[in-house]
Every structure is written in C-alpha cells, then in structure tokens.
Amino acid sequence: NAGVMQNPRHLVRRRGQEARLRCSPMKGHSHVYWYRQLPEEGLKFMVYLQKENIIDESGMPKERFSAEFPKEGPSILRIQQVVRGDSAAYFCASSPGPPRGTEAFFGQGTRLTVV
C-alpha cells in the first residue's frame, strides 16, 4: 500500500508564476489536509478537503491560494503569482475519515523555492 505521494518534491518558480502542488492520498483515504512549513518553523494548517468539498480553509491565505480535491485524481494546491514569502515546504496528509482516533499519514512534501 503506497503512502501519500506528493509531487513534485522540489519546485522552483520565478516571482509572479503559478505553482501547482499535487497530493495523491493513500488508497481508501478520502480526506486530505494541507500544511505549510516555513524554514525552521512548525507546521501550519492550511486547508482540509474531502472529495469535491472544502471542509475547512481557515488557514488559507485570503488571496492567491486555492485548493481542490476532485472526484478523480489528486488533490491540488495552487498558488498564483508566487512571491518570495511563499517559499516553504508544503505537506499534505490523508486519513480515511473522522472515526474516533484515526491517524493521518503525511507525504514527503513539496519544497517550493521562489526566485
């Protein structure tokens, strides 16, 4: 059973370009979380999605950031018009759902560098 797959592992974008980060959850998992980690800092929650639904986007910046988890295919985190401050590691996690006490599994992350 493959783990959570994120690609690309490393992404370099020039200021003003768009960044698209992909996350394929573990088989059978229908819940996806996105987190951002700035250098030398902890993980900050961004958004929680189920298939075709955004459940909680309280951690998403109000502009330029969007996320989706379509019925088919991976979850996508899109950052438009990237700026240097967007440089960070972006992690996604998946879980089978909210039964009591289930754990989430994280991918290896996408390291975004904005030049």
Partner 1 sequence: DAKTTQPNSMESNEEEPVHLPCNHSTISGTDYIHWYRQLPSQGPEYVIHGLTSNVNNRMASLAIAEDRKSSTLILHRATLRDAAVYYCILRDTSDTSGTYKYIFGTGTRLKVLA
Q: Which residues are at the interface with partner 1 (CB under 8 A)?
A: 4, 33, 35, 42-45, 48, 55-56, 91, 93, 95, 98, 100-101, 103-109
Burial code (b: 16+ CB inside 10 Å, e: under 16) for 84-95 equals eebbbbbbbbbb
Q: Among residues 72 and 101, whose Cβ is nearest to partner 1? A: 101
The minimum distance between CB 31 and partner 1, in angstroms, equals 8
Strands 31-37 and 53-56: unpaired
DSSP per-residue codes, 9-44: SEEEE-TT--EEEEEEPPTT--EEEEEEE-TTS-EE
The minimum distance between CB 22 and partner 1, in angstroms, equals 15
Q: Among residues 52 and 56, whose Cβ is nearest to partner 1? A: 56
Q: Among residues 3 and 68, whose Cβ is nearest to partner 1? A: 3
The minimum distance between CB 38 and partner 1, in angstroms, equals 12
Q: Among residues 13 and 91, whose Cβ is nearest to partner 1? A: 91
Q: Which two tokens stand for residue 35?
A: 């987190």
First-to-final CA distance of the chain: 36
